[in-house]
Structure 1
Amino acid sequence: MRQPFRAEFVAWGSRSIFGVLFLVTAGQMVRTMMAALSGWDALVGILLMAAPLALFFVALDVLIEAIEQHLMARHLTRGLSAWLQWTPRVGVMLFAIFMSVFALDVFGTSSNPWEIAFGLLMHLLPTFLVLALLAVAWRWPWVGGAALLATALLFLWRWGGNWGGDWVLSLVMVGTPALLGLLFLANGWLRRELSSDELQPAA
């Protein structure tokens, strides 16, 4: 009983820490949005950024808990196994939706349908890239995870200079795909522990 209690205590401790960090970061994001925008624009911006920001901290917590359980017990619980397997998969889908929202800007730049279509395609290229990597990672977690890490660096190199030193935006655009990539790598690393735990009968 002592080992499960210790693992649960550590898990709740990490969740509490990341919960506080999320609230602090979200507060900074709200202040930045309120200073740059007003009215409904600020509200939409806050809601838009809050989702991937929450995803970042959820992914970080799942990764830390998986490492903790691996080091303490050499196997993952059934619940954490499910979180480790599905958080990066669902997370990449949500991140792709988040990036797709920025493509809506093209509808206010031109009245020519061909220019709009071309602009929309160009804006959606990062989304297509992320979804393609998800398809790869679903089958080969090691390959897809490494590719997502490389994509996070690509985003930083290509668009990092346009973020104006906004560290919250950098955290979302670079940290989120990087963490999701690490979760896929953890899926490959802890594959045997995931499989063995799933085969255990329910208590």
Structure 2
Amino acid sequence: MKVREIILDFTSLLDVTMIILFFFVLYSSLDVENASEKAKAAEASYTEMQAQNEKEQQEWREKASEEWERILTADANAANNQKALSAYNEGTGLAFNLHEVERGDIWSLSVLSGKKKLDEISSDDKYELKDRLKECIENAGYNKDDVIIGTFTFDGSSYGTAKAVPTIEEAIRDIQREYKSLYFTSINISR
């Protein structure tokens, strides 16, 4: 028997392998570029989301801080309000009592702190009236931050007092611009 020689030619196989390898290298580098672009986009998206989250957390912290301050202020104001209500119930709050004097067009305003008479005012000049009322409030021992509850009592059926009521109420409202926690009620005893 004759032995045949088998010659294996790997040239074509090597060519095909190189072509396949070339495509793998080419497409793998494209995948790396795509993956790199996706990673950069994901990183940008994550950074944006993180910044948004930090902003929302900061807003939440500010709102929580404001709410906490409001609660603390409300507690402090509640104590002051309760103190003022107790003083009012005990009759030691401010009282503005308006009455006529002899003639029908002259009036007098008594300012009381409890049973203590602070002043007797009979001025039509609203600026002088305002100054004297502020002086009475200060003499009663109130500060601008205190809660003050007062009553303004008048007889609306009398000509002089009915005419003076708007002037006095306006003077008290002017004082309320400085004394933010000054509350008063008008009581017409003629009804």
In our comparison, the structure showing a higher alpha carbon Rg is 2
- The TM tier, using the shorter chain, reads under 0.3
State the TM-score, normalizing by the size of structure 1. 0.22
Which of the pair is proportionally richer in strand? 2
State the TM-score, normalizing by the size of structure 2. 0.23
